[in-house]
């Protein structure tokens, strides 16, 4: 009788594994695009990965997520979709992260905020290491300044 070994991963390890897969797939998917479009796509995604934790800390989770969603950029919506899958897991059919952040009781809201910030740390790291996007890299110079207030 064989004993199946089950490894237990920390939340941070699960986030690292999930986020790396998502960012690596984004890089692979963008390889088929023309050079300029590929760089714009990667920088837009990576730049928001760097900015979103600051937005969450200054404005709160629900407002920050809604702001990013309302910008309408495909790369930003993709980041939100990735974040939702990393934080909520694969079972996101019930309710989206945006909706949950608006309706959550205080304790769940605080947990969602903590989990999002923890996962976003990995998005920032992999944006730098996998996509080559450093903090401050901008696609457009008008960026987010003035828009978050």
Q: What is the pLDDT of residues 111-125, one digit of tens each?
A: 999 999 999 999 999
> pLDDT value at position 149?
34
Sketch the domain layout of the chain as residue ranges: 12-129
Q: Is the pLDDT of residue 3 over 50?
A: no
Residue 20 has pLDDT above 50, yes or no: yes
pLDDT above 60: residue 67: yes
Please tell me the distance from the alpha carbon of residue 123 to that of residue 129, in angstroms, as a whole number.
Answer: 10
Class of domain 12-129: mainly alpha
Cα separation values, 2 from 6, 8, 9, 86, 134, Å: 12, 19, 22, 32, 47
Range 77-96 average pLDDT: 80
pTM of the model: 0.81
pLDDT of residue 141: 45
CA distances from residue 125 to 49, 66, 133, 134 in whole angstroms, order as listed: 9, 23, 9, 9
């Amino acid at each position: 009788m064989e004993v199946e070994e089950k490894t237990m991963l920390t939340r941070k390890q699960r986030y690292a594994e999930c986020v790396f897969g998502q960012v690596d797939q984004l890089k692979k998917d963008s390889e088929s695009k023309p050079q300029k479009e590929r760089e714009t796509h990667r920088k837009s995604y990576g730049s928001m990965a760097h900015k979103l934790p600051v937005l969450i800390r200054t404005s709160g989770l629900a407002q920050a997520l809604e702001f990013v969603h309302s910008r309408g950029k495909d790369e930003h919506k993709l980041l939100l979709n990735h974040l939702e899958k990393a934080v909520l897991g694969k079972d996101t059919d019930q309710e989206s992260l945006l909706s949950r952040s608006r309706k959550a009781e205080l304790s769940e809201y605080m947990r969602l905020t903590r989990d999002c910030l923890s996962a976003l740390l990995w998005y920032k790291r992999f944006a730098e290491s996998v996509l080559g996007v450093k903090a401050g890299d901008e696609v457009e110079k008008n960026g987010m300044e003035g828009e978050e207030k």
